[in-house]
Amino acid sequence: MADEKKDEAHGPDTWLTTLGRDAEASHGFVNPPVYRGSTVLHRSVRTLDEAVPDRFDTPIYGRYGTPTHFALQHAIAQLEGGHRSIAIASGKAAVLCALIAFLEAGDHLLMVDSAYAPTRRLCTGLLARFGVETTFYDPLIGSRIEGLIRSETKLVFVESPGSLTFEVQDVPAIAGAAHRAGAVVVMDNTWATPLFFKPFAYGVDVSVQAATKYIVGHSDAMLGLVTASEASYPAVTRGADALGAPAGPDDCYLALRGLRTLGVRLRRQQETGLILARWLKARPEVERVMHPALPEDPGHTIWKRDFTGASGLFGAILRPASEEAVAAMLDGLELFGRGYSWGGYESLAIPTHPEHARSANPWAAQGPCLRFHAGLEDPDDLIRDLEKGFERLNRTS
């Protein structure tokens, strides 16, 4: 591809508009086409055989990807700062791909306690059934993770900030301890996207994106991406091969299209997210806002050291209120939708239950937890919507 070499001369927004494009190969059209297909016809048996070793990066069979996949994969690998990337059918399948790439029966896995709940269930369910033992660790453990590493520990999984509760992890300290013990470090980098956190610069070996969220960016496709360092790439290809769940080419196209506006969307969502977070913090109904870009947040120092921005997803803990009052607040919101996923252009608000998803430390907060996603609407309209929501909360409790 035209973008193969590292482009050190340009800034991140230039990268977002140029990576994964090769107009010459697309008859001059700006965007790569959608290749749909299973069989790839080869001129000879020899050229078919020769393509096999690099099958996730050259056309050989649809399950290993098409030039549409390769365009997206090249763009993401460069943005993350890794060697190669593989597009998988969903973010959850991408997490599974990264785990099965390295783990086998008898191995031990260290999983962050604030992981995305379905990731947690993969550990307690599928991996346990296949003989992999998981220890969940405190997201704020830092270099003290050394004390949990055993000779069978093969993989340390980080997700920063944590799902629902937004703790920021000391990724370089954790990666240092893991590497000294010969374990690989896998990170779920969905919240920051490669625009706001560069995993490979902080010691991560494999980075997972639920591209369903910000990269696709319009709530219209499911997609995962697994990006590997050069040393980890062979294992990741084995994981992807075993899984056999490639992303669809149309979804890769949507992700490439989303990538072009990722910078403008994320910066606007960061700004709106912070406006909402500060406004919420000042409300008497709110106990604490969980947003690492707020200076008083416990994760702020590390966030500022390692990240170049914040996306639009954050949490809030309310003062104790009944479930009915919270439902009245959220059900009546007109601009914030009630629904899973996030990263699209539309705002969302849902109740969350971190108390059900913890085992390293019990969840101490008494009041209900909410998760907000800032979309691209006018921030003043969003605030008026929330203001009326608090009126309903107060009327109901």
Ligand X SMILES: *Cc1c(COP(=O)(O)O)cnc(C)c1O
**Near ligand X by CB under 6 A, which window of 77-85, 178-186, 208-216, 299-307?**
208-216
Contacts of residue 284, Cβ cutoff 8 Å, sequence gap at least 6: 319
The beta strand positions in 21-132, using DSSP E, are: 84-88, 108-112
Within 10 A of 302 (CB to CB), how many other CB atoms are there? 21
CB of 92 to ligand X, least distance (A): 3
**Near ligand X by CB under 6 A, which window of 57-65, 149-157, 210-218, 246-254?**
210-218
Regarding 116 and contact with ligand X (CB under 6 A), the answer is yes
Regarding 269 and contact with ligand X (CB under 6 A), the answer is no
Site for ligand X in 355-394 (CB under 6 A): none
Residue from 90, 169, 227, 237 that binds ligand X (CB under 6 A)? 90
Regarding 92 and contact with ligand X (CB under 6 A), the answer is yes
Residue from 73, 207, 212, 311 that binds ligand X (CB under 6 A)? 212
Regarding 255 and contact with ligand X (CB under 6 A), the answer is no
CB nearer ligand X, residue 90 or residue 169: 90
Contacts of residue 54, Cβ cutoff 8 Å, sequence gap at least 6: none
Regarding 91 and contact with ligand X (CB under 6 A), the answer is yes
CB of 356 to ligand X, least distance (A): 17
Site for ligand X in 304-343 (CB under 6 A): 341
Regarding 207 and contact with ligand X (CB under 6 A), the answer is no
Q: How far apart are CA 58 and CA 302, in angstroms?
A: 39
Half-sphere exposure of 78 (CA within 13 A, CB side): 26
Catalytic residues: 63, 116, 188, 213
Contacts of residue 190, Cβ cutoff 8 Å, sequence gap at least 6: 91, 116, 159, 208, 209, 210, 213, 214, 343
CB nearer ligand X, residue 96 or residue 289: 96
Regarding 232 and contact with ligand X (CB under 6 A), the answer is no
Q: How far apart are CA 113 and CA 115, in angstroms?
A: 6
Q: What SS3 class is residue 11?
A: coil
Within 10 A of 150 (CB to CB), how many other CB atoms are there? 13
Regarding 120 and contact with ligand X (CB under 6 A), the answer is no
Binding to ligand X by CB under 6 A, coded x per residue (else -) over 34-73, reads ----------------------------------------
Regarding 88 and contact with ligand X (CB under 6 A), the answer is no
Dihedral angle sign, alpha carbons of residues 360, 159, 345, 300: positive
Dihedral angle sign, alpha carbons of residues 112, 352, 286, 292: positive
Residue 217's nearest CA partner among 273, 271, 161, 261 is 261
Contacts of residue 8, Cβ cutoff 8 Å, sequence gap at least 6: none
**Near ligand X by CB under 6 A, which window of 130-138, 150-158, 209-217, 359-367?**
209-217
Residue from 16, 183, 210, 382 that binds ligand X (CB under 6 A)? 210
Q: How far apart are CA 77 and CA 84, in angstroms?
A: 5
Residue 235's nearest CA partner among 171, 185, 177, 176 is 185
CB nearer ligand X, residue 222 or residue 286: 222
Regarding 272 and contact with ligand X (CB under 6 A), the answer is no
Regarding 188 and contact with ligand X (CB under 6 A), the answer is yes
CB nearer ligand X, residue 59 or residue 82: 82
Question: Per the structure block, which two tokens stand in for 47?
Answer: 């050229």
Site for ligand X in 158-177 (CB under 6 A): 159, 163
| Interface residues toward ligand X, by CB under 6 A | 90-92, 95, 116, 159, 163, 188, 190, 210, 212-213, 222, 224, 341
